[in-house]
Structure 1
Amino acid sequence: MNGKHITKLGFGGRAIALALAAAKVRERVGISTQEILGELASVRDHPEAYVTGGVYADLAAELTSREARARAARQATLRPTPLPYRVWGEDLIEPGARTQMDVAMQLPVSRAGALMPDAHVGYGLPIGGVLATEGAVIPYGVGVDIGCSMMLSVLPLRPDALGTDETRKLLMKHTRFGAGVSFEKSFRGDHEVLHDPAWREQALLRHLRDKAAEQIGTSGSGNHFVEFGTLHLPAPDLGLEAGDYLAVLSHSGSRGFGAQVANHYTKVAQTLHPQLDPAARKLAWLPLDTEEGEGYWQAMNLAGRYALANHDLIHARIARALGAEPLAQVSNSHNLAWKQVLPDGEEVIVHRKGATPAEAGRLGLIPGSMADPGFVVRGRGNAEALDSASHGAGRQMGRKAAERALNKRDVQAYLKERGITLIGGGVDEAPQAYKRIEEVIARQRDLVDVVAEFRPRVVRMDTGHEDV
């Protein structure tokens, strides 16, 4: 008797281990495999008949509790009013983002929340939304680009060590952007994340693994970037002396792999909640103690590791080309869910959709736009913000609105005035489409302390809808 026999009967999640344990007990007293399979089928179909005792009692209890949870999920209704939550930079936040956050705080699984000063409308949970839930994870509370993240490498070179042409050539050779892009196989490289055993544990992940391997070390479209610039460190920190350094900053995610995981499990979650209020449809959740919830949690964390692996390879290629070893590196994810304990001792799942983890002492990165500064920050551990901060400047115009409202010539003038060389990029990603990062940082002084400032100089992005 083995796990394949059990899964063929339709058992999943924790029920597999319980069924296998019971089967082993029956084997030891001489019951044949065929008879045991018949008994297990009976437990599967009528678990209530076995919960009072016997070798199958634990399995029956798991099956009946799972059915009760699924029934409760189907009948879930929203709270009549949202739970209270703190907002940082309310004057910078559009009403639509507040409306989305209000709906999230009406979910029956919600326990706490916060809204960051870069917040704007997203799918389900707003970008810049932080949401704590009890025993459940929300795929669209994490976002489509699972594990979207930042990385900074500080190089042992003066800021003026490389000319613009040399920097441009490095970015053109060692970075790739856009949907479906990849490096040539001989240039692609390998990473330990591609050998993670999780790839073999779900049919979905097995299906996506080859594509993820093909695209590793690349970046998507939209606001993803890799840029050279100057890091100004005003006081000794990061294991470095105060001063100015050449640095590389990147923003990248989990590519099509993460997007397919997000969309697959959102559909699964929505099937569990057919009666959920339409306003909360994109906030459908998966109980973590179900097979579906366990599956998403595993896939989400793998996508988070894969996203950081993309940064690892980008930065390693550039450092190797320069014959330099980074003096310091900082990285963080800002589209992920974490298990966290609230001050009252309750364990919750904290979704940060476009929000930076900011526990006390933790380093993070908050970028501006293609022409505005980014910041290395250290978290202050603000409990009301669920130990979080903004993940960037945040959009003040949607992509289509930016394309309608902004003049290509004005965008180019803005870049030139700030000494920015842009490779790719579109009007939809113009600095004017974003909030002023200095204002966003000023609204969260109780969430983070600024450690250093990064000034971009040569920026590469995907080609936008209209090149700048």
Structure 2
Amino acid sequence: MRTRFDFVHCDNQRAVRPLVLTYDDAESLALAMKAEALGRFKHIKKSANVRFYVNGTLVQDLADELPFPDGTRVVIYDKASAPAVSAREPADTSVPAPTTFLHAETVVDEDAIQQLYRVAKLPGMVACVGMPDLHLGSGAYPVGAAFVASRIIPELVGSDIGCGMTLFPLPGVSSDLTDRQLQRLSQALGQDGFQPGEATVDTPASQHPLAAAHARNFGTIGGGNHFAELQVIHELLEPGALDTSAAYLLVHSGSRTLGEAVAAQFKADGDLQAYCEAHKLCVTWASDNRRKIGQRFADVCSGGSPTEPVQTILDITHNSYVPVSPSENPQDSPHYLHRKGAAPMDAGQLVAIPGSRGTYTYIVRPSTDAEVLARCACSIAHGAGRAMSRGKVTALLKGRYRSRRSDAVEALQRTPFDGYVVCPGRVEVLYEEAPEAYKDIELVIRDLVAVGAISVVAVMKPLITCKM
């Protein structure tokens, strides 16, 4: 048989790397694995007591596990690095829910995969899917994953409930912007700043009593990896899907402090019914927030004059839960699909998968094939995913520009596409969200194409990236 494995030797290498092995029986498989371990990690001696963990379980007899399905994850330990079982802490014998990983070329950190396996053992879990952009999340839950459960688990959604992306065409802005025009527009956007307290609350969600305390954040981008980005089409692969002469705005933002408050309230009181009602409000508020940002951006582009209401090309949510039917029988109890940094594959809905401010964004059309949807939990990657923590990339870039900090800031405000980065808030964001912090978006897209999850509609080039 020929099987693709996720291979990692935990004493020497933290990143998961794809491996394809061909074998006829358990003995040849064991020999192939040991040869691979010896080849990749020279310090492992041939006499080492190599132990194999298959999908998180210690395997004493490989023959009992054959044949391995494609995508099996094998962790190889030598006797010095194999996990010890404490007498006080017996081994976790919980059976994890079926867990699928969609990466092949994209490198995924082993710690993030371990987080996903731990989530798979939670009560009520039915299935877990790790996207190519899977990365370590704060606390116990990874980012870049979809989870199906027989119950609602708010922690799997996180605090930025309703976070997602919306793509707008910019009225009156063409794709052939000159550098001088981009520079002027960047200055105007920097003066606007999308700072709290400046937008009018004018939607039912923004005027909801639960949202009243968060009104000043309506129409604002938020921190971290959130952004508003002016983009143009670099390559159109599906003719007619988008207008190549137009400029577009991609907004990535969520429910801001409203979602944080809702998540904190549930953690304090455990009131699931109240959470569910507030969750629905957060999803709507976040979508309205992105539209408000789009309107503010369009007004700045028009010289400050109010423009016609912006129109959306796509509007997706990648932090939420939705009920799903476990079967065709309507009498069956629903399951719940939780997404934490995963985009939906809803029929007919285009999806934006951005890389970073220095790489392309891909507009894709998800598959409608039932088998693919089932394998992917009706979800795909929502971006490139972090490859480095904020602290690590900041230290890296500050070391690179050690002599003159002003040079670093000036360099980080430009992109490889001769674009501009507008960051009127914390200068540190320029370091924390630099392109070096993210995985290779092209590998993420190739992985999704390889499993039949998407087809690429267009490749977009960022020209102005606004951050808070």
TM-score by length of structure 1 reads: 0.68
Per-residue deviation at 1:173? 4.7
The equivalent position to 1:358 in structure 2, one of 336, 339, 345, is: 345
Is residue 374 from structure 1 mapped to residue 389 from structure 2 by the alignment? no
1:415–1:435 Cα change, 3 Å: farther
1:265–1:325 Cα change, 3 Å: closer
1:296–1:174 Cα change, 3 Å: same
Matches within 5 A, 1:275-354: 292-321=271-300, 322=302, 323=307, 326=310, 329-342=313-326, 347-354=334-341
- Give the corresponding residue for 1:255: 256
The equivalent position to 1:117 in structure 2, one of 112, 116, 132, is: 132
The equivalent position to 1:188 in structure 2, one of 197, 200, 209, is: 200
Checking the alignment, whether the CA contact within 8 Å between 1:167 and 1:228 is kept in structure 2 is: no
Structure 1 gaps, min length 5: 1-77, 200-204, 270-291, 463-468
Per-residue deviation at 1:164? 1.5
The residue type paired with residue 176 of structure 2 is D
1:364–1:174 Cα change, 3 Å: farther
Checking the alignment, whether the CA contact within 8 Å between 2:166 and 2:312 is kept in structure 1 is: no
Per-residue deviation at 1:131? 0.6
Kindly indicate which of the two structures has a greater share of residues assigned to strand.
Answer: 2
Count, aligned residues: 344
Structure 2 gaps, min length 5: 1-91, 402-407, 424-428
Q: Deviations over 1:94-129 (max 9, x none)?
A: 111111111111112111110000001113321011
Partner Cα separation in structure 2 for residue 457 and residue 415 of structure 1:
9
Q: Identity percentage over the alignment?
A: 30
Partner Cα separation in structure 1 for residue 412 and residue 298 of structure 2:
31
Checking the alignment, whether the CA contact within 8 Å between 1:124 and 1:141 is kept in structure 2 is: no
Q: RMSD of aligned C-alpha atoms?
A: 2.4
The residue type paired with residue 131 of structure 1 is F
Partner Cα separation in structure 1 for residue 101 and residue 265 of structure 2:
31
Is residue 160 from structure 1 mapped to residue 176 from structure 2 by the alignment? yes
Matches within 5 A, 1:63-142: 80-89=94-103, 91-122=106-137, 123-134=139-150, 136-142=151-157
The equivalent position to 1:427 in structure 2, one of 421, 425, 431, is: 431
Is residue 146 from structure 1 mapped to residue 137 from structure 2 by the alignment? no
1:362–1:343 Cα change, 3 Å: farther
Checking the alignment, whether the CA contact within 8 Å between 1:79 and 1:108 is kept in structure 2 is: no
Q: Which runs of 4+ in 1 moved over 3 A?
A: 232-238, 323-328, 342-346, 407-411, 413-417
| Bigger radius of gyration among the two | 1
1:341–1:362 Cα change, 3 Å: farther
Pick which of 337-346 and 300-309 moved more: 337-346
Per-residue deviation at 1:329? 2.2
Checking the alignment, whether the CA contact within 8 Å between 1:149 and 1:333 is kept in structure 2 is: yes
Partner Cα separation in structure 2 for residue 344 and residue 213 of structure 1:
42
Is residue 450 from structure 1 mapped to residue 434 from structure 2 by the alignment? no
Checking the alignment, whether the CA contact within 8 Å between 2:413 and 2:420 is kept in structure 1 is: no
